[in-house]
Structure 1
């Protein structure tokens, strides 16, 4: 088995601005442009980039593009090589981003980041939180103990992750038993084939447990592409933190609904929606009248957090009678309250005020794990007793669920019994196994049932 090398450029900084998918696409465009006349000069770039619609064609005219290129490189007769072309591409994209107001502000939103982001940045706050999580949950691992604890202020995380072992171990923490650890190559010096085996194992397993693995491959992990590696780590940790948000592990969640029909609807919700529903359920016990619909703008003022922690742990509420004068001060009070509860983790006051969606979700999920405020006695116990609890059924359901999830992120399911009821994902699965066997013209996609999270 040969290791995949990919497209390499001599400048490491330039290499790190692109994923392999982007490089392959740009290399194809560059080759196509140069093929027209056998060579490509600076004066040719504007018109040929416009024809191939390489960058911002709807936002730049040929004249604007030519003027910008000339300002970057006045000598129009110079021949263009691939690296020069990449630099021109970056400069043009930065100009287009400035026009449309995109910039890099949102480029660290890993769970939903666009794959075309050019200036790849990462959030230091998120990196530090995830490093602290890894240090905590993998501290006892025999192989990784020589690398842990990782310094959260450095980029050591991406060096440690290069051989794939840390990612495999983290997946097993999130969903125990996903990977047979005997299949992980853990020698001190791995050859390229063993390293590639680890990467393939961790990426396939991450996809199976529900991660969206797009535009990342073996070469990206080897090179320590920070925004891609941290994106996968973010999703793995999210899956771990939301693991208890189902009726199997937390039957007390039935307190959120009124009857068995509502219980069935609750079972069909994603873990994030259940977490929001739980948060709003607790907030209804307070004087807080707003409904929280996300883990970003709706919690930036920290008022929802203040009320949530007061109802969950009133014995630890802030003894001060003076109200906080600003969201930042209120956020600090929230974290002090969480610290007294023993669950201050994942975010800072700055992250709350700025509305970091990943870290706020992690914080709320951690609070739920630590103290969910739900009753151990419930009138719905008779319904829960009818749910299958056989170990063999659970093992087989998990195996089939992972298998279906490994096909495509659009087919992701949380539960085989509930999510396959309408047959649509079954049709998609059959079509994946035997392409073309399903006549989609006569298939009818079921209507999406919208459920209020209040």
Structure 2
């Protein structure tokens, strides 16, 4: 790290964030391929995987930031493949969609994303009187980075994307500059980060101070992940039954649950192209859309009959053509996220957002001819999936019962629980799983994952590697719950400094002792205690850990409202709570355990 200047390191971080399209801390071979393709280097999949393998030191099939730095060093020394140089800026050798930096050393994508996100925030929050004094945010003079510093805009955008995630009563509002302002602002940002985690957002290397300091690539990276959740929320079979029309011949509707939103959007675009009789197809939102021709056809196909679109001459320059296309999008009230330059340069992130916005407004998918049985994701499944994704696991988990079946996500979790427990020499690489005999190698990985569980004393009677590989739901959930529980308890054990395993009864004893020492009358017998259902023990415990943090006028006779307040306040004081309010009201013992354990972690950190 010492041989890279601070300026170059900052640019590397920005560039990594640009090509990490889903913002989860990893660049996949597909994301690398899109970046190379946008720069004129179209490589087949096997060559992309070979490129990734050159610098993939932990053999998980993706590039993390530390490996990205090594790629940069290797490129400078000639130790890695020259293809990486196809998207290198002349200033400091950093990957860029444009392949160059401006005179100030800033990559234009940062400015482009700032413009796009500012426009989106202004449009989404314009009717909220509580942020009227913040709006409109200007795209100039770092106005965005100033106005998000107190956390309120972030809180509002989280609730815009995932309504109800943050209880408004927990947000510090109407803050006046003074000695308490710094403290209140920091609380809001802690609430933001822990709420983001609960939605499956990876915030690796992002802290409250980074947001206060206005570190641009981190602010934009967090904003993108928040905006992405809202944009993709409607790409759901329950909301749009016509999504079944995106199935290929022989596919079952359940396959849609296994696809990422980006994959579904690509299928949607290609379906509309087919319906329009256009032979063109896309595989990405970078190189494949740079000439605007797909967009021109897409807009015509999904546009309602009462809107008249203008013809777009193909004889224009690419930027002129993109502008004409966007003028048609404006007629449909869908000109958002991208400029002509973003189209021509193939900015994958912003083009993905543009297409998602088109889908949300004009899905143009007729209902299925027959009723489709849709099995919704349960609260438990969603909580586990969000927990995994927030830790930055790869592959990204879209569907619990298919995305664990090569073992890699499980290995990442085991390594989080007990670093070094995974012997990577025993793990079949992602690349080997794509070759002949890959299914057997994936099963071997799952068997090894079960063996690791047994090493950690998991209760795995009747659970084998084949159950994980085949996605047997109850048995997979059994494994995943024990991973989440072990992860939470491992954090406690590290803080305690002891070698003894922390048991449920230890947490219960701590809860009651903490409540008693603070003069509270509430208590719990165990994690099934009905007294937990009104959230009073949780609320009192939060106030015992951080005195005067609870405004008791917000505590009602409504159990669900109390649970919402309790969870947001727990996150606000630093607890990484993944549980949902309903888990407390229903006294779900598994999730209740995690709530109290996370609060115990906060108290132990405070003591340290």
What TM-score does the superposition give when structure 2 sets the normalisation length? 0.51
- Residues 1-30 of structure 1, C-alpha deviation per residue, up to 9 Å, x if partnerless? xxxxxxxxxxxxx988866x99xxxxxxxx
Q: SS of the residue aligned with 1:167?
A: helix
- Residues 243-270 of structure 1, C-alpha deviation per residue, up to 9 Å, x if partnerless? 2223233221111115674423332111
Query: In the alignment, is the contact (CA less than 8 A) between 2:312 and 2:321 conserved in 1?
Result: no
Q: Distance in 1 between matches of 2:204 and 2:416?
A: 18
Q: 2:193 aligns with which of 203, 211, 226?
A: 203
Structure 2's unaligned 5+ residue stretches are 14-69, 79-87, 439-608
1:165 matched residue in structure 2: 152
Query: In the alignment, is the contact (CA less than 8 A) between 1:120 and 1:227 conserved in 2?
Result: no
1:27 matched residue in structure 2: none
Pairing 1:413–2:400 present: no
Query: In the alignment, is the contact (CA less than 8 A) between 1:343 and 1:366 conserved in 2?
Result: yes
Q: 1:104 to 1:371 in 2, by over 3 A?
A: closer
1:11 matched residue in structure 2: none
Q: 1:302 aligns with which of 278, 292, 300?
A: 292
- Residues 267-304 of structure 1, C-alpha deviation per residue, up to 9 Å, x if partnerless? 21110011001101111123432221111111111110
Query: In the alignment, is the contact (CA less than 8 A) between 1:171 and 1:236 conserved in 2?
Result: yes
Query: In the alignment, is the contact (CA less than 8 A) between 2:147 and 2:153 conserved in 1?
Result: yes
Q: SS of the residue aligned with 2:344?
A: helix
96-105 or 330-339: which moved more? 96-105
Query: In the alignment, is the contact (CA less than 8 A) between 1:170 and 1:236 conserved in 2?
Result: yes
Q: 1:260 to 1:418 in 2, by over 3 A?
A: farther
1:248 matched residue in structure 2: 238
1:326 matched residue in structure 2: 317
What's the Cα RMSD here? 3.8
User: How do 1:115-134 residues align onto structure 2 when only pairs under 5 Å count?
Assistant: 122-134=109-121
User: How do 1:10-409 residues align onto structure 2 when only pairs under 5 Å count?
Assistant: 59=76, 98=90, 101-102=93-94, 122-189=109-176, 190-258=180-248, 261-313=251-303, 315=305, 316=307, 318-320=309-311, 324-379=315-370, 381-384=371-374, 387-388=375-376, 394-409=378-393
- Residues 398-434 of structure 1, C-alpha deviation per residue, up to 9 Å, x if partnerless? 3333223232343642233554466653554455345
Q: Distance in 1 between matches of 2:312 and 2:349?
A: 32
Q: SS of the residue aligned with 1:301?
A: coil
Q: Distance in 1 between matches of 2:75 and 2:415?
A: 37
Query: In the alignment, is the contact (CA less than 8 A) between 2:289 and 2:295 conserved in 1?
Result: yes
131-140 or 322-331: which moved more? 322-331
Query: In the alignment, is the contact (CA less than 8 A) between 2:97 and 2:346 conserved in 1?
Result: no
Shift of 1:371: 0.6
Q: 1:18 to 1:423 in 2, by over 3 A?
A: closer
Query: In the alignment, is the contact (CA less than 8 A) between 1:286 and 1:311 conserved in 2?
Result: yes
Q: 1:198 to 1:313 in 2, by over 3 A?
A: same
Matched pairs, number = 357
Q: Distance in 1 between matches of 2:75 and 2:346?
A: 32
Q: 1:177 to 1:331 in 2, by over 3 A?
A: same
What TM-score does the superposition give when structure 1 sets the normalisation length? 0.67
Q: Distance in 2 between matches of 1:322 and 1:248?
A: 39
Q: 1:425 aligns with which of 375, 397, 409?
A: 409
Query: In the alignment, is the contact (CA less than 8 A) between 2:285 and 2:351 conserved in 1?
Result: yes
Q: SS of the residue aligned with 1:125?
A: helix
Q: Distance in 2 between matches of 1:279 and 1:266?
A: 15
Shift of 1:107: 8.9
Q: SS of the residue aligned with 1:347?
A: coil
